[in-house]
Amino acid sequence: MKIFGDYHMHTYYSDGEASVLDMVRAAKDRDLKEIAITDHSFNKIFNGLRRKNFNRLVSDVESARSEMPILLGVESNVVSVDGHIDLDDKMRQKLDIVLFGVHVAIFYSLRGFFTFFLPNVFFNSLHFVPGFLKRRNTNIVKRVIEKNQIDIWTHPNRYFKLNVVEVARTCIEKGTALELSAKKISFRPIDFEHMVALGAKFVINTDAHSPKRVGDIARVEEFLKNCDYDPRCIINLNQTWTSFKTKKESDSDTQQNQTTDTSKKPKRWRRWF
């Protein structure tokens, strides 16, 4: 099994161990054709990307593009129960790809802290997630997908448990791909098969935090041995495309921007299907 690109990795601008160039060269050594640098976004309490370093990250990515095609992105976080993420429109304009994943140590809104963070941390410590909390988590993540232009939902069902198949339905509707994470897959083969049958699209990523993990998809390969699926559902598997299609949701925004202010830079959102 061979992937064309790896679209989830971190550098020392967040919690990674290496530079952009180190990750790029590791990708080249593993014969990848394209990667995305997706450091943790700004509301991650420990080792998130800091706004003061963002322009340096942009510069490093631009310099490394002489080595191979690179997409600049972030892995954003949910910050409220209403589905808001830690990424504003101004910053989105500078990105090629936007990932979203649930993480624990985040600067939440006050309501998000008490109704999302605290209940999940408490019940996770008991190794039990009650039905009401699973439904709440499901609805919050669905709102994120509905309200934001997300290219990839990373490590689905990790950390705070939810109904992954129900969220997948929203991903299909909004054109968001689900990640098969080589770090850890937190749903069952039967869930994967159900999502494939519904029409969900997937991306195999490594979530690499060091050069040695770039392109290492052994855990995904092991998982897929237990699944009955059409390989065409995995969009970076043995495929030779080099760019994403623009999201439908952005088309009207771009046209409106061009009509009202032609000096504004068009959005560069991507769509997988």
Q: Are 195 and 178 in contact (CB under 8 A)?
A: yes
**pTM more than 0.85:** yes
Q: What is the pLDDT of residue 252?
A: 45
Closest to 177 (Cα-Cα) out of 21, 20, 27, 36: 36
DSSP letters along 162-177, please?
--HHHHHHHHHHHTPE
What is the fold of 5-245?
Answer: TIM Barrel (3.20.20)
| Tens digits of pLDDT across the chain (273 residues) | 899 999 999 999 999 999 999 999 999 999 999 999 999 999 999 889 999 999 999 999 999 999 999 999 999 999 999 999 999 888 898 999 999 999 999 999 999 999 999 999 999 999 999 999 999 999 999 999 999 999 999 999 999 999 999 999 999 999 999 999 999 999 999 999 999 999 999 999 999 999 999 999 999 999 999 999 999 999 998 765 444 533 334 444 444 444 444 333 333 334 445
